[in-house]
Structure 1
Amino acid sequence: MAATPPVCDFDWPAPAFSLPATDGKTYALADVMGPKGVVIAFICNHCPYVLAVLDRIIRDARDLEPHGVGFVAICSNDAEAYPADSFENMARMAEEEGFPFPYLHDADQSVARAYDAACTPDFFGLNAEGRLQYRGRLDASRRDAGPDDLRRDLYEAMVQVAETGQGPKDQIASMGCSIKWRDG
């Protein structure tokens, strides 16, 4: 079932985290923060919304790096109920797709809850001070990738954040599969 996150809560201070990654390291928020900000993308392996734009997520992560914007992806789904989202499968996907960013495992779902993540993909764009400036879509794609010439909402917003420290006032929420929460 499709879910939509709330609009951007400008200047919300992002909670710190420390999570294991598919590359065998552990990353904290400070480790992934670029000098001008960071994108925290809640994704997973099985969501058709993520799979439709995975190549564009990778492209935008690479294209934001020269602007001083870091990038990290976090999978918080219940891997027992959704085995495709297991840590082993996350590692396989990161390697096969050549992720240019750390792919972190939020096994206890505490980071997703702290961020109030709603769906996959759900993008949090922070400025250099770690304050929320963008919570919107990658582009206008939905369950299927849109045309190649779609406006790059996330990329353009984060370039603006890198240059000014502030995100655009008008943002369109992301849409995707709901986070798969564990029972209890």
Structure 2
Amino acid sequence: MVLTASTMLPLGTKAPEFHLPEVVSGEKISLATFADKKALLVMFICRHCPFVKHIQHTLAQLGKDYFNSDLGIIGISANDAQNYPNDAPESLKEMAIELGFQFPLCYDETQATAKAYTAACTPDFFLFDKERNLVYRGQLDDSRPSNNKPVTGADLRAAIEAVLADQPVTSEQQPSVGCNIKWKPGNEPSYQ
């Protein structure tokens, strides 16, 4: 495990397009899937990472809390499934069902979507407004597996609430930290 921080993609960046298979239904998910939503949260997560395991129940609760809201949510795993079989689509499907995810969990086999978003770690969060401009990228909260702080989701939830209320999101944002994305050999991005 290599402790890695978010790249902190510049605020205002347009959400890159994606077309990814959802691991439970097999349905293709894209930006258009969320066209009617006021905001979109793109989360890069996986199954094996201790940082994701630490917050997985909070992520599931986030999906439940915003299920019938103007927030669209998508989880994406881009890890190399050959070398990390716990992050293969079948295993991700088990995770989504066990945790009761109320949002699509997709697998980015080519890792092109992770690169387009400059995802660097799991978890890595990107929140976009109605025009799909980036308004938040950073941590869920300041809890980590080793610091004994409670998992609240406070930072991300504050940003979500601001966007949904047509309020500005604070530009003081702390990077997320976690395990590095497990890139396929020879596929490492230049920003790493």
Taking structure 2 as the reference length, the TM-score comes to: 0.89
Q: 1:129 aligns to what?
A: 131
Question: Shift of the alpha carbon at 1:64?
Answer: 3.1
Quick check: 1:4 aligned with 2:5?
Answer: yes
CA RMSD of aligned residues (A): 1.8
User: What SS is found at the alignment partner of 1:104?
Assistant: strand
Kindly state the Cα deviation for residue 80 of structure 1 after the two structures are TM-superposed: 0.4
Higher helix share: 1
Matched residue SS, 2:40: strand
Cα deviations by residue, 1:52-97 (Å, 9 ceiling, x for unpaired): 0001111122223454111110000000010110111011111111
Q: C-alpha deviations, 1:16-57, integer Å up to 9, x for none?
A: 111000122110112135521110000001000000000111
**One-letter amino acid of the counterpart of residue 60, structure 1:** L
Provide the rounded CA distance (Å) in 1 between the counterparts of 2:147 and 2:56: 9
In the TM superposition, what is the alpha-carbon distance from 1:154 to its structure 2 partner?
A: 0.4
Partners in 2 of 1:93 and 1:31 — Cα distance?
Answer: 22
Q: Is the 8 A contact 2:11 2:135 kept in 1?
A: yes
1:13 and 2:11 matched: no
1:63-78 equivalence runs, <5 A? 63-78=65-80
1:159 alignment counterpart? 161
Q: Distance in 2 between matches of 1:107 and 1:151?
A: 28
Distance (Å, rounded) in 1 between the aligned partners of 2:124 and 2:73: 13
CA–CA separation in structure 2 for the residues paired with 1:65 and 1:167: 21
1-structure distance, mates of 2:175, 2:183: 21
Contact 2:5 2:120 in 1 (8 A): yes
State how 1:93-112 maps to structure 2 within 5 Å: 93-112=95-114
SS of equivalent residue, structure 2 residue 165? helix
Q: Matched residue pairs, number?
A: 184
Gap regions ≥5 residues in structure 2: 187-192
Equivalent residue for 1:176, pick from 164, 175, 178: 178
Distance of aligned partners of 1:60 and 1:144 in 2 relative to their CA distance in 1, 3 Å threshold? farther
Describe the shift of the 1:33–1:171 C-alpha distance in structure 2 as closer, same or farther (beyond 3 A): farther
Identity of aligned residues (%): 36
